[in-house]
Structure 1
Amino acid sequence: MYDVVHDVVAEAAGEELPVVTGLARLDEAAVVRRLGTPGERREPLGFGLGEVVVLVTPVVWLVLDQTAKQIAGSVADGASRQTKALLRKVFRRGRGERAVMPALTRQQLAEVRQRILEAAAQRGLPADRAETIADAVVARLVLVEPPSEDGAE
Structure 2
Amino acid sequence: MRDVVRDVVARVAPEELPLVEALARFDDATVVRRLGRRGGRREPLGFGLGEIAAMVAPVVWLVVDETARQIAAAVATGATTGTRTVMRRLLRRPDAPVTVPELTREQLAEIHRRVVESAVQRGLGGERAAVIADAVVARLALAGPGEEAQGPPGPESTAGSGTPAQG
For these two proteins, the number of residue pairs brought into alignment is 133
Name the residue aligned to 2:70: 70
Identity of aligned residues (%): 55
Contact 2:5 2:60 in 1 (8 A): yes
Name the residue aligned to 1:23: 23
Change in CA separation of 1:47 and 1:78 when aligned onto 2, cut-off 3 Å: closer
Name the residue aligned to 1:121: 120
SS of match in other structure, 1:10: helix
Q: Does 1:146 align with 2:141?
A: no
Contact 2:10 2:17 in 1 (8 A): yes
Alpha-carbon offset, residue 146 of structure 1: 2.5
Contact 1:34 1:43 in 2 (8 A): no
Q: Which structure's CA Rg is the greater one?
A: 2
Mapping of 1:23-42 within 5 angstroms?
23-36=23-36, 40-41=38-39
Change in CA separation of 1:22 and 1:147 when aligned onto 2, cut-off 3 Å: closer
The AA in structure 1 aligned to 2:127 is: D
Equivalent-residue separation in structure 2 for 1:72 and 1:78 (angstroms): 11
Name the residue aligned to 1:13: 13
Contact 1:102 1:144 in 2 (8 A): no
The AA in structure 1 aligned to 2:14 is: G
Alpha-carbon offset, residue 79 of structure 1: 9.3
Structure 2, unaligned runs of 5 or more = 81-92, 148-167
The AA in structure 2 aligned to 1:75 is: V
Contact 1:35 1:43 in 2 (8 A): no
Equivalent-residue separation in structure 1 for 2:35 and 2:137 (angstroms): 21
Name the residue aligned to 1:131: 130
SS of match in other structure, 1:18: helix
Tell me the alpha carbon deviations over residues 97-149 of structure 1, each in whole angstroms, 9 at most, x when there is no partner: 7432111111110000000010011001111100100000000001222269x
The TM-score with structure 1 as length reference comes to 0.75
Contact 1:63 1:116 in 2 (8 A): yes
SS of match in other structure, 2:101: coil
Structure 1, unaligned runs of 5 or more = 81-92, 149-153
Name the residue aligned to 2:45: 47
Name the residue aligned to 1:107: 106
